[in-house]
Amino acid sequence: MGQQMPYFKYHPDPIRTGVFQTGQTVACSCCGKETDIWLKSEHICPDCIHSGKAYDKFGADSNLNSVYDYNTDYREQYTGMIDEANIEELLHRTPGYLCNQYPVWPVHCNDFCAYIMTVHEGNLIQMGILEEIKTYLRKEGAFDEGDYGTEMRLKNPEAYAESILIGGCDRYLFRCLHCRKYLLRYDYD
């Protein structure tokens, strides 16, 4: 069948990240068409997510998007800072990413960042960005680090960075679409 993957600005490679599955043909539960690429948690084709049809049909009750409308604070937090079209694209036309808790999309340069992948220290070494990430963690902290993380980072930035890079948490790598800076978000299961 060889369906083409539409481009998702905030999640550019959702097959590699494991959000979409391939390998057999299924009927899309949104449009009914046969597809050989579908959302892993539900049989929804990438075209229905990209166009917003899946959100229109299933809304916030589905595992389609990164940040659901039930979190109205999220929308309110970024209104005026991020273009409304970008908020709509993220909320209604972007596949989420797999994580332990709830997905959060970092913001940098007044826009959401692109999700790259779940990483460990070895990935960061291979990509040649380990030192960049360590510097980022020491200075700014991981996105959405919470009060405990902020307190720990201010007391001992080096220990904070090491605890995230080798600790018992999952790490999610993002990249700013504008300045190309890498950002890291983490969560515990």
Helix (H, G, I), strand (E, B) or coil at 172: strand
- Residue 134 above 50 pLDDT? yes
My answer on whether 138 and 164 are in the same domain is yes
My answer on whether 62 and 109 are in the same domain is no
Output the pLDDT for position 67: 45
Output the pLDDT for position 170: 86
- Residue 69 above 70 pLDDT? no
What digits encode the pLDDT tens for the residues 142-183? 666 665 677 777 788 888 788 788 777 888 999 999 999 999
My answer on whether 117 and 156 are in the same domain is yes
Q: Find the domain containing 25 and state its range.
A: 1-98
My answer on whether 134 and 60 are in the same domain is no
Contacts of 133 (CB under 8 A, 6+ apart): 124, 161, 165, 182, 184
Span 81-100, average pLDDT: 86
My answer on whether 86 and 107 are in the same domain is no
Q: pLDDT: is 17 or 1 the higher one?
A: 17
- Residue 102 above 90 pLDDT? no
My answer on whether 11 and 64 are in the same domain is yes
User: Number of structural domains, the chain?
Assistant: 2
Tokens of 50: 């990209």
Instruction: Using pLDDT thresholds of 50, 70 and 90, give the confidence band for residue 109.
Output: very high
Out of 67, 83, 98, pick the residue that ends a domain.
98
My answer on whether 4 and 84 are in the same domain is yes
Average pLDDT, the chain: 83
Q: Give the least confident one: 19-33, 91-105, 109-123, 145-159.
A: 145-159
Q: Percent of the chain, pLDDT > 90?
A: 38
Which of 9, 11, 1, 4 lies closest to 118 in space, CA to CA? Answer: 11
My answer on whether 67 and 48 are in the same domain is yes
How far is Cα of residue 24 from the mean position of the Cα atoms in its chain?
25
Out of 98, 124, 146, pick the residue that ends a domain.
98
Output the pLDDT for position 97: 86
My answer on whether 85 and 155 are in the same domain is no
Span 79-97, average pLDDT: 86
Instruction: Using pLDDT thresholds of 50, 70 and 90, give the confidence band for residue 111.
Output: very high
My answer on whether 183 and 103 are in the same domain is yes
| CA atoms of 25 and 35, how far apart (whole Å) | 5
Q: pLDDT: is 33 or 4 the higher one?
A: 33
Output the pLDDT for position 73: 58
- Give the H or E element holding residue 183: strand 182-187
- Give the H or E element holding residue 121: helix 121-126
Most confident range, picked from 13-17, 66-70, 81-85: 13-17
Which of 19, 37, 15, 17 lies closest to 27 in space, CA to CA? Answer: 37
Report the residue count for the chain: 189
| CA atoms of 53 and 108, how far apart (whole Å) | 28
My answer on whether 1 and 89 are in the same domain is yes
How far is Cα of residue 150 from the mean position of the Cα atoms in its chain?
22
Helix (H, G, I), strand (E, B) or coil at 116: strand
Give buried/exposed letters for 52-70 (b at 16+ CB in 10 A, else e).
ebbbeebeeebebbbbbee
Out of 98, 118, 148, pick the residue that ends a domain.
98
